[in-house]
Each structure stands twice: as structure tokens, then as C-alpha cells.
Structure 1
Amino acid sequence: MMRNTRGRRYHSPVADDGSGELGDLLMRAARTQRRRWRDALAPWDLSPHQARALRVVCERDGVRLSDLADSLHIAPRSATEVADGLQERGLVERTPDPGDRRAVLLRPTEEGRRIRGEVGRARAADSAELFARLGEEDRTTLARILRTLAG
């Protein structure tokens, strides 16, 4: 039983089934992972968006800004800003798109590939450390549950 702003009693429309707590715990875990990810990126002075963009560019070895925006689930203008930052640091370069003279492709530089490798190894090590708190069976179950929720 709850009280409204006038002091009248009413039944909460939200069932107390623990789902609110589950949501809170999931958000706390996600915030912890994001904080750890930002901390892991600190040696390279990269933002999480920049690191994800560098990964996409390295994996595809030639990506349009619109495709980068789609991959990162961000606005095209934001993808341009992220790409500009990576280009200023010498991690990507813009090259003409052979299939469309009006478009450009982002390609990784040698330095970009090197940094991408280092960042990937650091992230993997950090994730291994975080998930080592769980046993193998719990990690498998967590992966299955998260795939279900994300799908």
C-alpha cells in the first residue's frame, strides 16, 4: 500500500516481483563496465566512441561515415566528429571511394592498427579480470541471458 501526494492510500501499479531491482542491478553492472572501459582507454586518450569507431574501421578496412554511424548507433554528424578526432591523431585517413567519387572511405593507418591491437588486448584483459569473479557456468548463463535480453 502506498500514499499519493494527498495522503490517500492506493495500491502500487507496479508489481513487486523483483524486476525493478534486476533493472537497477543491470544498470549498475553496465555503469561499472563503462567506467572500467573508460579507465582502460586512458593510456591512449581515446573515448569509448573513438575506440569503437577505430575497431569498426580496422575490421572493414574502408567504411563510409554513414555506415560508421549506423554501426555505432549514432547520428551521422557525431560519426563525423569521431572520425575527425581519429584523423587528427593519425589513426585513420580519408580516401576516395572508388565506387562513388562523391563519397570518402575511412581507412586505418598503420598507427591506427597498432593502437587498435593494443586497445583490444587491454579490453580483453580487463573483461577477463571482471568476469573472473564468476565461475565458468555462471559466465555461460550470463552470456545466454544477456543475448536473450539484447535480442
Structure 2
Amino acid sequence: MEDDAALPEELADALVGVQRLIRRRLRRDMAAPQLRGAEVEFLRLVVERPGIGISDAAKELYLAGNSVSTLVNQLARQGYSLRETDPADRRAARLLPTPAAEARLSEWRGRRADLVRRQVSRLDEPDRETLLAAIPALRRLADSLREETERP
């Protein structure tokens, strides 16, 4: 690569920019209440892992336990999250999505896929092929970041 020194900054800026624009476009067309990025990430997690505990959710989302508790309370008031007592440990809570959360997330994913599909289709063939070829490397980068974050 010609300028390896520029790669980290350029890549990070491009990824953040794309993610931010996708979120903004989707929020604009979604029904109220508007959900913040952390709320959507939390809902994704509890839909993927229903019954997850607060400390495990905090670890997975790289948030403090009290931040996850705040998210749970906010989303419970909006009808998207449930907190149940863990039958194995009455002091612990299990976090569950509501059917409304599952529907909202499904709608979000469908709209996101449609948006990205439309935008990618506007690119020329070489750009589409480049993006497709980059996906495995981006996934490995995400895995590496996750592993590094999980090390003590």
C-alpha cells in the first residue's frame, strides 16, 4: 500500500461516516420514539441473546452496569425491554426483548438493508466488487478489535 500511515485514520473516518449517515437516514423515516445508537445496540443484543444478564450485557456492549440499567429502564418505559428475576439467582436480572422490540429491530434491519442496497447499486461495478472483497477483512478487523478489548 502506498501510504500505510494514512490507512488507520482514513479507514476509521470512512467507517464512522458511513455508520453515522445510515443511522441518520433511518432515524428520519422511523416511527417515534427515536432510538439512540446505544439503545439499538442493546435491543440487538437482547434479541440475539434473550435472558442475558446486566453484567454480561455491559461487558458485551462495553458499558458500565449502571449504563445498561439506565438503558433497560428507558426501553422498558417505551415498551421494548423486560427485566425478569433470574430463577437461578434471585438477586440477578434477565433481560428480554418485547414483541414490539423484535418488530422494531426487524423494521430497522429491513430499512437498513434497503438503504444500503440502493446506495451500493449507484456505485460502479469496480466499486461494488471492491466493497464485497473488503467484507472479510473488515470482519477480521472487528474480531481483532473485540479480542483486544476482551483481554485483561
TM range (shorter): 0.7 to 0.9
CA offset digits 1:59-110 (Å, max 9, x no partner): 2221111111122122222212222221111101111111111111111112
Q: Does 1:145 align with 2:137?
A: yes
| Counterpart secondary structure, 1:19 | coil
| % same residue | 28
Q: Does 1:30 align with 2:30?
A: no
| Alignment partner, residue 108 of structure 2 | 119
After superposition, the CA RMSD in angstroms is: 1.9
Alpha-carbon distance, 1:19 to partner: 2.2
| Alignment partner, residue 21 of structure 1 | 6
Q: Does 1:98 align with 2:87?
A: yes
- Correspondence list, 1:1-150, <5 A: 18-39=3-24, 40-42=26-28, 43-44=30-31, 45-132=34-121, 133=123, 134-135=127-128, 137-150=129-142
Asked if the contact 1:61–1:108 (Cα under 8 Å) also holds between the matched residues in 2, the reply is yes
CA offset digits 1:11-40 (Å, max 9, x no partner): xxxxxx512322232122122223123211
| Alignment partner, residue 150 of structure 2 | none
Richer in helix (by share):
2
| Counterpart secondary structure, 1:101 | strand
Residue 130 and residue 26 in structure 1: after superposition, are their counterparts in 2 closer, same or farther (change >3 A)? farther
Q: Which runs of 5+ in 2 are unaligned?
A: 145-152
Residue 92 and residue 148 in structure 1: after superposition, are their counterparts in 2 closer, same or farther (change >3 A)? closer
CA offset digits 1:111-147 (Å, max 9, x no partner): 1111111112122223334444332x31332112223
Q: Which runs of 5+ in 1 are unaligned?
A: 1-16
Question: Aligned residue pairs: how many?
Answer: 134
| Counterpart secondary structure, 2:82 | strand
| Alignment partner, residue 14 of structure 1 | none
Task: State how far apart, in whole Å, the 1-side matches of 2:119 and 2:6 are.
Answer: 21
Alpha-carbon distance, 1:53 to partner: 0.6
Task: State how far apart, in whole Å, the 1-side matches of 2:141 and 2:96 are.
Answer: 33
